[in-house]
Homo-oligomer: A and B are copies of this chain.
């Protein structure tokens, strides 16, 4: 393609409000344009990259027997109502007439699909009802929509983005597991073909309310990734932050136990206020939180002042459903104090207490006084409150935490989730009453899995990983063009002639060439553009190279250029 006919140009400065590395690089290189936060146009160069990524994904999905379809973005409301997700999915968009004329013609509201379980399950149900036709796998590569509140990570999180989503259907859980493992292998092949395998990890994540099993995320290390991954250095097992089991590193203390004191702390309700008033450290304070369940049963939870409660972990530990923070009235009733002064000393006996392991080993700590405007200081286990039988893991994981399994500190790193696989089991077949007839003519429920891989997100990840301070350094298999041919200005017109000739010969040979044929651009700017755009091979034709009957070839990312006979260049391209 002639660069003179490429309507985009490289930009000196990306928009100031673009802060993510990937979007800054891609906007500067002329790969994408920002329409609004989280919504981008793929420009000619970027669209070429995206299509190559999508083709790699397509080939690997075809290889495991996936059948490609294109499902619609619009959906009626009923399937979303059927699964209950119309109210549950907090990024779901709805669609209706934009103006009065449009609403008058048709006042209906539709759903803009953020995922396609609600479409694909009734679809496959129409065709597949017998055991002989199972398993089957259906996929698409399509645009998805999510009502993200403040997307700011470029292509890593969009309100509108490209997604490959595959759904598999099975006669039992065992067959689902077989295909699930197959899809893992396919994903590893995709990662390998995209050159991100080394930096990608399978990460255990929550199975949601679909399953007690984990789901699996393919997380690629990436500085602006939005996920924090916890890797046990001994087993190599990786956890998503949300479910990582952690032990807080113990706070060592050699102090003797001091005398318990009740201190007047008027108006000091937060840990930070208290620490500022009393001096010391948040690590010597204890937060006590009261929760109530659906039956108004109240439990107390305590953890170190510097840690955050994880309500999912609490729910699992306490075995209670529908836990929510107690309100001011209930707190007053149970502790005798206003919000902000709850503690463990003198709580009513009917309240079960759950202690996070961040409290283990604490000496002379501070805690609410169960009396408005009062805290205790120098609280100690075994004296002021009973030494518990058990400490729990009730906290959000933090870098520096210990893996309980290995006893070693987790390695933590930021990553972007390029893919995920999900054992849906019978969640959706149950909603849609999707049964099949087995070998004996008996009705059995269908097992399902879903498998996502994000082409546009992975394009953002590739941009971040394969770049340097001068621009992008695309791997050849996804580069917009293999060769960036630069015609440098010369007075005789000979460089133009020779480069035109070379361009035509390379194109004839089927080589993908971006040909910088722009007449009025200086060599320095052409070199800078080539670095920004990042094609694997830069080939320069100038009066200097012509003298030797050669062209100068440089691999992007390498420093040294090489003079190559033009004939050899054509032959070896």
- Which A residues contact B (CB, under 8 angstroms)? 5-9, 30, 33, 35-36, 39-44, 47, 50, 65, 67-76, 80, 86-102, 105-106, 110-112, 119, 123-124, 126-128, 132-133, 136, 138, 143, 145, 147-150, 159-160, 520
Contacts and interface: CB of A to CB of B under 8 A. Distances in A.
Contact of A39 (B5, B8, B50, B72): B72
A74 B39 contact: yes
Given A8-B127, A67-B6, A98-B86, A72 B147 contact: no
A36 B5 contact: no
A128 B7 contact: yes
A70 B50 contact: yes
Contacts of A65: 5
A94 B94 CA distance: 8
B159 A74 contact: yes
Contact of A147 (B42, B105, B112): B105
A33 B97 contact: no
Contact of A9 (B6, B119, B127): B127
Contacts of A112: 95, 98, 112
A35 B90 contact: no
Contacts of A160: 72-74
A39 B141 CA distance: 17
Contact of A69 (B36, B44, B119): B44
A78 to B, nearest CB: 9
Contacts of A68: 44, 47
Nearest to A90: B101
B73 A143 contact: yes
A75 B36 contact: yes
Contact of A93 (B30, B67, B95): B95
Contacts of A87: 99-101
10 contacts: A39-B74, A41-B69, A80-B98, A86-B99, A88-B99, A94-B97, A95-B112, A98-B111, A98-B112, A105-B147
Contact of A41 (B33, B70, B91): B70
A160 B73 CA distance: 8
A104 to B, nearest CB: 8
A149 to B, nearest CB: 4
A567 to B, nearest CB: 29
A91 B105 CA distance: 8
B98 A102 contact: no
Contacts of A147: 96-98, 102, 105-106
A269 to B, nearest CB: 26
Contacts of A36: 74-76, 110
Contacts of A80: 98
Contacts of A40: 72
A90 B105 contact: yes
A75 to B, nearest CB: 6
Contacts of A89: 98-99, 102
Contacts of A128: 7
Contact of A149 (B72, B91, B105, B132): B105
A223 B159 CA distance: 41
A75 B35 contact: yes
A42 B67 contact: no
Contacts of A124: 7
> Which of A36, A44, A50, A106 gathers the greatest number of chain B CB atoms within 10 Å?
A106
A570 to B, nearest CB: 24
